[in-house]
């Protein structure tokens, strides 16, 4: 039998669908049984594009870029320079004062831009144009956040699509199955309710926050107390959804205990099993009793490199929570809004040091390196101060930091931790340390050139 589309069954013109839209992840995951136009390309206009556009700030901050586009997603922000607020749609802070960009103040009274560009304006003259040095001014960026995207129909349809295509791909579903009709109707026509709900248990948010990496997506399937098959989707570690895939386990779909994490550096960590009993048995069997002396025996993993063990342990020990204790809601409560808001805030405050992020930073600041970097003594962007500091210590290391792993080791020594929370105090300290070194500009340029020479892994 020929393969067919999992949505409609047609066997002609099948295509590979990105299960999670390519603009929302660096890690690719595909379902090959989706017809090209109606159930792949058209979903983009129907709901994916809206979500992608509204999450631009998040993907931009996490250095996630669609392979189709040249640039990182742009987002609306308000830039305060001195005492005046300006509106700006930006993809990176460096473009604010580079190039030819002009910004209009929120009150409409001022234009800010390169002096040569401003002077070209007809009405410009000596009385209404003044020159300022942005390297000596306090500059602050604020980004208005609209949380409603997390509770929008577009988001629910996209999440349902991700859960459905993922579950089908893992179970090698080769064509349309009638038991999936409710979820197919919901995705394709937003018909019917109760397919997607918001998970509101704080303990589930805590569980995922502790387990998965910064900025990752995580998917997990389980069979619920009512015998329905569900997929929990944790998007960027921000919001958690429950997708009801079908009313009961199906003969053709053997794997109902599934887990996958997709990390920012494009790694996949996954396991699959048929049911919870088998998972428990397989989990126990991945350890063996080992004599550790003094008559003591310890259970040691048979394969010490197996990265899935901690995820399996999480699944096994929290199974009851998924099975019967999930608190699923249709409308956001204040409690869920607070959980999501806190997750966004910590995501935007923390930073993952990746090759991708470092290379992007160097590329966006390249002009500054060529002209010799001048650190703004009043600069307050904590993330970029931290990135400049990375270049600074790489430059300072005199060739000792040869790759990202050397850098991680140095960071760990210096900050005595894997994760660094860049507080105001820490940021000020790093900023002062750099400014007090007379050759900080040369060192950063040196560091930037070293990063340029590193290759992706």
Count other C-beta atoms under 10 Å from residue 411's C-beta: 19
* Interface with Zn ion, residue 218, by CB under 5 A: no
Q: How many whole angstroms separate alpha carbon 457 and alpha carbon 408?
A: 15
The token pair at 93 is 């802070």
Residue with tokens 């001195």: 82
- Decide if residue 8 touches Zn ion (CB under 5 A): yes
Q: Near Zn ion by CB under 5 A, which window of 34-42, 154-162, 179-187, 275-283? A: 34-42
Least distance to Zn ion, CB of residue 16, Å? 13
Q: Is 7 in the site for Zn ion (CB under 5 A)?
A: yes
Nearer to Zn ion, 8 or 309 (CB): 8
Min dist. Cβ of residue 14 to Zn ion (A):
8
The stretch among 6-14, 49-57, 197-205, 439-447 that binds Zn ion (CB under 5 A) is 6-14
What are the C-alpha distances in Å from 93 to residues 131, 141, 148, 355, 364? 20, 9, 25, 19, 9
Number of residues counted as binding Zn ion (CB under 5 A): 5
Nearer to Zn ion, 8 or 137 (CB): 8
Q: What is the DSSP letter of 83?
A: T
For Zn ion, the closer CB: 37 or 123: 37
Query: CB under 5 A: which stretch of 31-39, 183-191, 242-250, 398-406 binds Zn ion?
Result: 31-39
Least separation in angstroms between residue 31's CB and Zn ion is: 11
Q: What is the sign of the dihedral through the CA atoms of 308, 313, 318 and 320?
A: positive
CB of 404 to Zn ion, least distance (A): 42
Residues forming beta bridges with residue 211, ordered by sequence position? none
> In the complex, what is the shortest distance from the CB of residue 161 to Zn ion, in angstroms, rounded to a whole number?
12
For 36-82, strand residue ranges (E) read 75-81
The CB-of-17 to Zn ion minimum distance in angstroms stands at 10
Quote the DSSP letter at residue 252.
T
5 binds Zn ion per the rule CB under 5 A? yes
Helices of type H across 325-416: 334-349, 355-364, 366-371, 382-396, 404-415
Among 20, 29, 35, 243, binds Zn ion (CB under 5 A): 35
| Single residue of 14, 25, 39, 175 touching Zn ion by CB under 5 A | 39
Residue 180 engages Zn ion in binding (rule: CB under 5 A): no
Q: Which of 313, 383, 307 is nearest to 349 (CA)?
A: 383
State how far the Cα of 159 lies from the Cα of 198, in Å rounded to an integer: 11
6 vs 434, which CB is nearer to Zn ion? 6
Quick one: 7 or 388, whose CB is closer to Zn ion?
Answer: 7
Helices (H), 135-180: 153-170
Q: Does 161 bind Zn ion (CB under 5 A)?
A: no
Residue 297's beta-bridge partner residues? 291
Local structure of 23: helix, strand or coil: helix
96 binds Zn ion (CB under 5 A): no
Which positions lie near Zn ion, rule CB under 5 A? Answer: 5, 7-8, 35, 39
């Amino acid at each position: 039998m020929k393969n067919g589309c999992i949505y409609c069954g047609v066997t002609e013109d099948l295509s590979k669908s990105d299960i999670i839209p390519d603009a929302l992840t660096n890690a690719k995951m595909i379902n090959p049984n989706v017809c090209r136009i109606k159930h792949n390309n058209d979903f983009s206009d129907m709901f994916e594009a809206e979500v992608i556009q509204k999450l631009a700030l998040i993907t931009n901050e996490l250095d996630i870029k669609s392979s189709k586009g040249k640039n990182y997603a742009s987002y609306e922000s308000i830039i305060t320079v001195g005492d005046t607020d300006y509106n700006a749609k930006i993809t990176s802070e460096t473009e604010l004062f580079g190039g030819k960009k002009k910004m209009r103040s929120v009150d409409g009274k001022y234009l800010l831009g390169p002096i040569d560009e401003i002077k070209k304006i007809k009405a410009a003259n000596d009385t209404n144009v003044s020159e300022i040095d942005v390297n000596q001014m306090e500059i602050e960026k604020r980004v208005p956040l609209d949380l409603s995207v997390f509770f929008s129909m577009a988001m629910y349809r996209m999440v349902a699509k991700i859960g459905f295509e993922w579950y089908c791909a893992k179970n090698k579903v080769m064509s349309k199955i009638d038991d999936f009709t409710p979820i197919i109707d919901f995705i394709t026509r937003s018909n019917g309710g109760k397919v997607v709900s918001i998970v509101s248990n704080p303990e589930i948010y805590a569980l995922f926050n502790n387990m998965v990496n910064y900025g990752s997506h995580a998917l997990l399937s389980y069979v619920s107390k009512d015998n329905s098959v569900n997929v929990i989707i944790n998007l960027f570690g921000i919001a958690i959804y429950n997708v009801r895939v079908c009313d009961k386990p199906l003969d053709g779909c053997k794997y109902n205990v599934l887990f996958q994490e997709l990390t920012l550096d494009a790694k996949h960590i996954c396991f699959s099993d048929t049911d919870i009993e088998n998972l428990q048995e397989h989990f126990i069997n991945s350890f063996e009793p080992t004599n550790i002396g003094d008559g003591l025996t310890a259970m040691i993993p048979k394969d010490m490199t197996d990265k899935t063990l901690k995820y399996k342990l999480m699944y096994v020990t929290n199974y009851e929570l998924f099975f019967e204790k999930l608190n699923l809601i249709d409308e956001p409560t204040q409690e869920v809004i607070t959980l999501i808001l806190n997750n966004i805030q910590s995501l935007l405050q923390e930073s993952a040091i990746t090759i991708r992020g470092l290379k992007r930073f160097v590329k966006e600041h390249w002009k500054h390196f060529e002209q010799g970097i001048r650190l703004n003594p009043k600069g307050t962007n904590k993330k970029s101060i931290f990135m400049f500091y990375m270049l600074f210590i790489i430059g300072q290391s005199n060739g000792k930091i040869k790759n990202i792993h050397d850098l991680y080791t140095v960071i760990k020594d210096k900050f005595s931790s894997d994760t660094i929370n860049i507080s105001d105090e820490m940021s000020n300290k790093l900023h002062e340390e750099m400014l007090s070194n007379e050759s900080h500009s040369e060192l950063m340029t040196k560091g930037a050139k070293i990063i340029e020479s590193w290759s992706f892994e």
